[in-house]
């Protein structure tokens, strides 16, 4: 696939510009934060609300992150105007590692697996080449907005956002819907929150947020109108990391049966191509995904990392730091096997066998 990084940036900047223009129309009392956010949601996500079901500790929530403009455009491979293209590849079920999954195990997987795009960019002298599912962009802008509403730029309330994402991924957006608990989705969610925090200077008292946007917010209020900050152009490399790539940040399965089927397909592929195809596909990316969140959330690194990074990568991170990591026969025959065998249909809380060891060692 061709690299979609440049066009993704240009598309988001273009839609942000449209949102600013719409927010400035028919304004009598100056810059309206509520109006700006509404049009940002409409132009990047979806202005059609979805009501998510209640949970034991949750009331029904309105969500604007179900598909939407950005995710839909990436999935189609182009936007409505045709100005921006995102060369994508459809995941063919009959050729995927999920081909043996039955409808009883996962209804969505028997019909659609979505599309992926390639995102290659340079950051701090290193080139990253990632394969990212189109749904990650919907999570980033949609669920990221929900996280933002939970915290309101005050990271003392970060647990509210984490709990919200955990509930969604365990239910309607994850295990109960597709049979998959996606750490990549949760990584996109939390970085979407950061995008919304960076949008405007809503809370001038939150010094930590201001510290993470040294060039100022993306949009400023000038007089009575909103204007885009030309000194701080949107760039996806501030949000995307290897944690969005599920060949690196591997997902958890609904049951042992599903896990075994996926494992067998991976083994067959490895025997056919005579190469290691077991996640994490690139160990250095696994390590750098965690470093990315350490830099982004220096004061909340541990609770966030525990939610958005797969235990296999977290284990590798610790063992790499202790110089005791070896991928050979470690992931496929070790942790990942035990990890999947611990899952049952009655238990929706993903607790891998090495969780206590990881927490004891710092993650």
| pLDDT classification of 363: cutoffs 50, 70, 90 | low
Q: Is the dihedral of CA 91, 95, 97, 101 positive or negative?
A: positive
Asked if 109 contacts 93 with a C-beta cutoff of 8 angstroms, the reply is: yes
Q: Is the pLDDT of residue 313 over 80?
A: yes
Query: What is the mean predicted confidence (pLDDT) over 77-105?
Result: 88
The pLDDT of residue 130 is 97
| Tens digit of each residue's pLDDT (9 = 90 or more) over 325-362 | 554 434 433 444 444 444 333 343 444 445 666 666 66
Query: What is the mean predicted confidence (pLDDT) over 236-249?
Result: 95
The pLDDT of residue 325 is 52
Structure tokens at 140: 């980033």
The pLDDT of residue 203 is 59
**Least-confidence region, from 171-175, 222-226, 271-275:** 171-175
| DSSP conformational letter for 59 | -
Q: Is 67 left (phi over 0), alpha (psi -120 to 50) or beta?
A: left
**Does 118 or 80 have the greater pLDDT score?**
118
Burial of 120 (0-12, 13-18, 19+ CB in 10 A): middle
Q: Is the pLDDT of residue 105 over 70?
A: yes
The pLDDT of residue 241 is 96
| pLDDT classification of 324: cutoffs 50, 70, 90 | low
CA distance 51 to 130: 32
Strand partners, 121: 128
Q: Pick the closest to residue 244 from 194, 200, 185 (CA basis).
A: 185
Q: Is the pLDDT of residue 39 over 60?
A: yes
Ranges of beta strands (E only) in 74-218 are 88-90, 115-123, 126-133, 180-181
Strand partners, 78: 85
Structure tokens at 27: 């304004």
Cβ neighbours, 10 Å, residue 58: 14
Query: What is the mean predicted confidence (pLDDT) over 299-328?
Result: 77
Q: Is the pLDDT of residue 131 over 70?
A: yes
Local structure of 186: helix, strand or coil? helix
Asked if 240 contacts 70 with a C-beta cutoff of 8 angstroms, the reply is: no
Ranges of beta strands (E only) in the chain are 50-52, 61-63, 88-90, 115-123, 126-133, 180-181, 219-222, 225-228, 252-253
Residue 260 — φ and ψ, nearest 5°?
A: -65, -40
CA distance 136 to 277: 22
Q: Is the pLDDT of residue 280 over 50?
A: yes
Query: What is the mean predicted confidence (pLDDT) over 309-322?
Result: 79
Please enumerate in sequence order all residues whose Cβ is within 8 A of that of 1, keeping only pairs 6 or more positions apart, or say none. Answer: 87, 88, 89, 116, 117, 118
Tell me the range of 41-55, 73-87, 164-178, 205-219 where mean pLDDT is highest: 73-87
Instruction: List the chain domain ranges.
Output: 5-360
Q: Is the pLDDT of residue 217 over 80?
A: yes
| pLDDT classification of 268: cutoffs 50, 70, 90 | confident
**Least-confidence region, from 156-160, 212-216, 304-308:** 212-216
| pLDDT classification of 213: cutoffs 50, 70, 90 | low
Against a cut of 0.75, is the pTM above it? yes
Local structure of 115: helix, strand or coil? strand
Q: Is the pLDDT of residue 132 over 90?
A: yes
| pLDDT classification of 208: cutoffs 50, 70, 90 | low
What's the mean pLDDT when you consider all of the chain? 80
The pLDDT of residue 204 is 54
CA distance 276 to 262: 15
Query: What is the mean predicted confidence (pLDDT) over 12-16?
Result: 96
Query: What is the mean predicted confidence (pLDDT) over 81-96?
Result: 89
**Does 131 or 203 have the greater pLDDT score?**
131
For the chain, give the percent of residues with pLDDT over 90.
34
**Does 186 or 172 have the greater pLDDT score?**
186
The pLDDT of residue 150 is 87
Asked if 215 contacts 231 with a C-beta cutoff of 8 angstroms, the reply is: yes
Strand partners, 51: 62
The pLDDT of residue 51 is 58
């Amino acid at each position: 696939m061709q690299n979609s990084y440049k066009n993704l940036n240009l598309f988001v900047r273009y839609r942000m510009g449209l949102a600013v223009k719409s927010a400035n129309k028919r304004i009598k009392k100056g810059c309206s934060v509520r109006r700006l956010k509404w049009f940002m949601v409409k132009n990047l996500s979806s202005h059609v609300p979805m009501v998510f079901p209640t949970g034991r500790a949750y009331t029904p929530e309105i969500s604007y992150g179900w598909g939407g403009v950005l995710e839909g455009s990436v999935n189609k491979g182009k936007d409505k105007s045709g100005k921006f293209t995102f060369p994508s590849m459809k995941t063919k079920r009959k050729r995927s590692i999920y081909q043996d999954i039955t409808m009883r195990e996962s209804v969505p997987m028997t019909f659609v697996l979505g599309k992926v795009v390639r995102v290659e960019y340079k950051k701090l002298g290193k080139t990253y080449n990632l394969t990212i599912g189109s749904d990650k962009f919907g999570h980033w802008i949609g669920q990221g907005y929900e996280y933002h509403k939970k915290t309101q730029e005050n990271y003392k309330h970060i647990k509210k956002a984490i709990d919200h994402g955990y509930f969604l991924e365990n239910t309607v957006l994850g295990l109960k819907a597709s049979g998959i608990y996606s750490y990549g989705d949760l990584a996109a969610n939390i970085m979407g929150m950061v995008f919304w925090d960076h949008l405007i200077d809503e809370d001038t008292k939150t010094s930590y947020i201001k510290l993470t946007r040294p060039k100022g917010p993306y949009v400023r209020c000038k007089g009575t109108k909103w204007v885009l900050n030309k000194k701080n152009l949107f760039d996806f490399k501030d949000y995307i990391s290897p944690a969005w790539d599920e060949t690196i940040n591997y997902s958890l399965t609904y049951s042992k049966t599903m896990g075994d089927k996926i494992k067998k397909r991976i083994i067959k592929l490895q025997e056919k191509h005579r190469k290691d195809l077991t996640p994490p596909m690139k160990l250095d990316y696994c390590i750098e995904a965690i470093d990315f969140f350490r830099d982004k959330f220096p004061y909340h690194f541990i609770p966030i990392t525990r939610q958005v990074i797969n235990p296999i990568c977290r284990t590798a991170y610790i063992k790499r730091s202790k110089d005791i990591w070896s991928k050979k026969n470690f992931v496929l025959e070790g942790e990942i096997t035990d990890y999947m065998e611990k899952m049952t249909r009655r238990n929706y809380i993903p607790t891998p066998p090495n969780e206590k060891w990881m927490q004891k060692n710092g993650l």
